[in-house]
Amino acid sequence: MRLHTAAILLLFGLGIFAAHTVKGSASSQSMRKFSCVTLSTKQLNIRNLVSYEKQQVPTNAIMFVTAGGIKICVSPDQRWVKTAIKRIDERRVAKRK
Give per-residue pLDDT as tens, 82-92.
999 999 999 98
CB 88 within 8 A of CB 49: yes
Which domain does 61 fall in, by range?
A: 46-96
What is the value of pTM for the model shown?
Answer: 0.62
Residue 71 lies in a domain: yes
- Mean local confidence (pLDDT), 9-32: 49
Residue 40 lies in a domain: no
Residue 38 lies in a domain: no
Residue 7 lies in a domain: yes
Residue 10 lies in a domain: yes
Q: How far is CA 1 from the centre of its chain?
A: 51
Q: According to the model, what pLDDT value does residue 31 have?
A: 47
- Given a cut of 50, whether residue 21 has pLDDT beyond it is no
For the chain, how many structural domains are there in total?
2
